[in-house]
Structure 1
Amino acid sequence: MSKADEIFVAMCDDIIKNGTTTEGQKVRPHWEDGTSAYTIKRFGVCNRYDLREEFPALTLRRTALKSCMDEVLWIYQRKSNNIHDLHSHIWDEWADETGSIGKAYGYQVAQRSHYPEGDFDQMDRVLWQLEHEPYSRRIMTNLYNFHDLSEMHLYPCAFNAIYNVTRAPGDERPTLNLLLVQRSQDVLAANNWNVCQYALLLMMVAQVEGMVAGELVHMIADAHIYDRHVDVVRELIERPQYPAPKVSLNPEVTDFYDFTTDDLVVEDYQHGPQVKNIPIAI
């Protein structure tokens, strides 16, 4: 069965049984009807996924992998903060009349900084370092810029991606690993979406650098289930589980900026029915 399912079920079960509630406290999120959106939460959740074993897509329900890839390309490849450059509607709630989400996500990736080797934006710096100094411990992107927070329509949730290269004796190629740090996560709506996004990002970067995609480590500071999601989650984690799907990329792509969602290949994806009309706290 899918290891991503096992991890998700264990995490949700732990949050429901052992988490603390924000009910009755002053909270920012609210439901569409104006009611405060309370959560059950766990602090400091850490999950590990080894892409050498399988791709971490849930089978309890379907995760839209092409849409996941499109959003991660929107941020790190197209470096956009405008929903008109995105094919899904997940950011519509936070966009202004021009489609902008403010100085968030792709805007931050696109910011250039000066280095001894020249000027780079955040993603180009990652790619340069992996090519020229792959064993550096300083290869990362960081979207949480305090100076620009007041001009972001939503503070970044998954904000820090740290790349790390390992090579065990006998390995034909180096292994690229990725640590994702997330300050806050709506577990039902976003957990596997974020996991699959960054798994795909890891696969793309590893491929163009001639490396093997290894471990994705996902650290969540505040992993929470909203009050109106608890019963849905209870039902979801009791569902049958299936083997993980086979997920690969077009091997002919050798430049990160050439990837499109057409280069994603998904095979044998068995899954349960989709959970529809999930209320989203804003």
Structure 2
Amino acid sequence: MSQCDHIFINMCRDILENGTDTRGEKVRPHWPDGTPAYTIKQFGICNRYDLRKEFPALTLRRTALKSAMDEILWIWQRKSNNVHDLHSHIWDEWADEDGSIGKAYGYQMGVKHVYKEGLFDQTDRVLYDLRHNPFSRRILTNLYVHQDLHEMNLYPCAYSMTFNVTQERGDGKLVLNAVLNQRSNDVLTANNWNVAQYALLLMMIAQVSDMVPGVLVHMIADAHIYDRHVPLIQELISREPYPAPKVWLNPEVHDFYQFTTDDLHVENYQYHEQIRNIPVAI
């Protein structure tokens, strides 16, 4: 059993057995037919994934790793807020007629800020600090910009990454770790998607910073399973997990802005059949 599957199964069981049911309460999300989308939710989930041991791709069903990588590059590398720059259609529900999702995600990563060392956007500031001051405790990003929330078509769910460098005993190799903060997580549709894409981001940034990817800590304030997803989750966590796949990046890439999905290599990824026709709350 992969550790990622083990974490996912235990998290789902905890939510279903010990979570708060929001049925009858005032909720914002709704189903396409207009029915309120209620959840069973758990507060303060903290999951840890050590990328030195395995890549955290779910085997209970397939996670589209190249699409996950494309989305994280859309935000962090291309710094786009337009779905026409994204190869999947995940964000189409929140895009306007021009394809924009407003001042969200990639838009915020591309805004330049003044620092003592010069003018940087958030991506470039992270890369600069890891290169010049890797043991800083101030290497973080934030997409939840209150002054722009009214111009975002969707408030950021995964909104902050905090990077922290440690050192391997023995060889002295620098290890890049990160904490992903998420205010809200739809466990069925998005949990492993988010884990995989930010694990890939950690791997890419570690590689161009001449570091080893270490631990990704995923903090979720509100981890929830929608009412119409409960039987799907129950079926999913009843499956027998496979071993984790081997995932690696093209070692020839040393510039974060040169990565493409062609640089992602996945080997021995065994997985169960996909769950089809998952309803998505809006």
TM-score normalized by the length of structure 1: 0.99
Distance 1:52 1:99 in 2: 38
Q: Following superposition of structure 1 onto structure 2, how do residues 45-56 of structure 1 map, counting pairs within 5 Å? A: 45-56=45-56
* Structure 1 match to 2:201: 201
* Distance in 2 separating the partners of 1:178 and 1:245: 21
Cα separation, 2, equivalents of 1:161 and 1:36: 31
Distance 2:279 2:162 in 1: 32
RMSD over aligned Cα atoms = 0.5
SS at match of 1:229: helix
CA distance in 2, matches of 1:211, 1:96: 40
Matches within 5 A, 1:187-226: 187-226=187-226
What are structure 2's unaligned runs of at least 5 residues?
A: none
* Aligned AA (1:181): N
TM-superposed CA distance for 1:73, in Å, is 0.1
Aligned pairs for 1:24-39 (under 5 A) are: 24-39=24-39
Q: Deviations for 1:74-95, whole angstroms, at most 9, x for unmatched residues?
A: 0000000000000000000000
- Equivalenced residue count is 282
Q: Does 1:67 align with 2:67?
A: yes
Q: Residue 86 of structure 1 corresponds to which residue in structure 2? A: 86
Runs of 4+ in 1 over 2 A off after TM superposition: none
| Counterpart for residue 163 of structure 1 | 163
1:170 is displaced (CA, Å) by 1.4
Kindly provide the amino acid, as one letter, of the partner of residue 170 in structure 2. G
Percent same amino acid among aligned pairs?
71
Which runs of structure 2 are paired with 1:138-153 in the superposition (5 Å)? 138-153=138-153
> 1:7: Cα distance to partner?
0.2
Question: What SS does the aligned partner of 1:269 have?
Answer: coil
Give 2:263's aligned residue. 263
Corresponding position of 1:42: 42
Shift of 1:16: 0.2
Aligned partners of 2:213 and 2:169: how far apart in 1? Answer: 17
**Runs of 5+ consecutive residues of structure 1 not aligned to the other structure:** none
Tell me the distance in 2 between the aligned counterparts of 1:7 and 1:169: 27
Whole-Å Cα distance in 1 between the matches of residues 222 and 198 of structure 2?
18
Q: CA deviation at 1:169?
A: 2.9
Q: 1:58 maps to what in 2?
A: 58
CA offsets 1:115-171 (integer angstroms, 9 cap, x no match): 111000000000000000000000011000000000000000000000000013313
**1:8 equivalent in structure 2:** 8
**Could you tell me how far 1:241 is from its partner in structure 2?**
0.6
1:172 CA displacement: 3.7
- The residue aligned with 1:244 is 244
Q: Following the alignment from structure 2 to structure 1, what is the Cα–Cα distance between the partners of residues 108 and 148?
A: 9
Structure 2 equivalent of residue 274 of structure 1:
274
